[in-house]
Structure 1
Amino acid sequence: MTVVTYALFLGGFVSGGVSAIIGLILAYANRSSASPRAQSHYTFLIRTFWIGAAIMLAAGAMLFWGAILSVILIGIPVLILGKLVFGLSSIWYGLRCIVGLLKALQNEAYPTPQNYIL
């Protein structure tokens, strides 16, 4: 079931995040009754979702305020920073999902589910 959850998280790139939300619900629903190996993956996925959502929210705020403030030219650096944060967080999210999926396919527990990087 962890592989399906990873697939749903990765599907969030093309579904606008809808499949990632479904994957989050599955991760919360299955975490308590799962094996320790699967629990490490579910914890990792839940943290990936919430950290990614917080970073994307911050990037969205930067893009919003940067667009408004670009009228007086102050917002242009904010827009650039928002786009940079958005792009880097998308790469971070994708890499976390791919690395976790590879561990799940090898039937291994995720070694550091509480880590922020990978």
Structure 2
Amino acid sequence: MSERLDTGTVNLTEDKTLPMVAYVLYLLTFASGFTVFVGLIIAYANRATAGPKMESHYTFMIRTFWLSIAWAVIGGMLCLLGAPLSLVLVGIPFFLLGLFILGALGIWFAARCIIGLLHLSRGEAYPRPMNWLI
């Protein structure tokens, strides 16, 4: 969306403040554990009224959250299944796979947030907000 200034010209810049705050809150979740929820609320609340560039960032952040929840459930379930079965050595591969998924998830989550911040700092829309990887 663009807004008209008093001089009659069209302002084509979009406010990057709230998407940047949401990205930082996503990254701060590694320290606090719950700030990602505040960032998600910001993304959901502002996506409908944002311009096309910032809307792509909000969509990207919302998708990042839900994909990370899905992978965390998969990794957590493998760890929970593998831990008691490790007593008879059958569960060790499941437990290790779960730990690997959770570790890779942390790296993936941080990389998506940092790359999103880089695109945002250049004033660009996120090129592929519906992508599964990065």
TM-score (norm: length of structure 2): 0.85
Q: 1:33 corresponds to which residue? A: 49
Identify unmatched segments of 5+ residues in structure 2: 1-17
Corresponding residue for 1:20?
36
* 2:49 pairs with 1:50: no
What is the percentage of aligned positions where both structures have the same residue? 46
Q: Distance in 2 between matches of 1:94 and 1:60?
A: 19
Question: CA offsets, 1:28-83, max 9 Å, x none?
Answer: 00000111110000000000000011001110111111111111111111111111
User: Which residue matches 1:11?
Assistant: 28
Distance 1:117 1:67 in 2: 29
Q: Which structure exhibits the higher relative contact order, with contacts defined as CA atoms closer than 8 Å and separated by 6 or more residues?
A: 1
Name the CA distance, whole Å, in 1 between partners of 2:54 and 2:124.
9
Matched, 1:94 2:110: yes
Q: Distance in 2 between matches of 1:78 and 1:41?
A: 35
- Count residues in correspondence: 117
After TM superposition, the runs of 4+ consecutive aligned structure 1 residues lying more than 3 A away are none
Partners of 1:14 and 1:106 in 2: CA distance: 26
Higher helix share: 1
CA distance in 1, matches of 2:49, 2:102: 35
| 2:97 is equivalent to residue 76 of structure 1 | no
Aligned to 2:125: 109
| AA in 2 matched with 1:12 | T
Query: Cα distance, 1:94 vs. partner?
Result: 0.6
Shift of residue 15, structure 1, vs aligned partner: 1.0
- In angstroms, what is the RMSD of aligned CA positions? 0.7
TM-score by length of 1: 0.96
Larger radius of gyration: 2
Distance (whole Å) between structure 1 residues aligned to residue 84 and residue 58 of structure 2: 39
- How far the C-alpha of 1:107 sits from its partner, in A, is 1.0
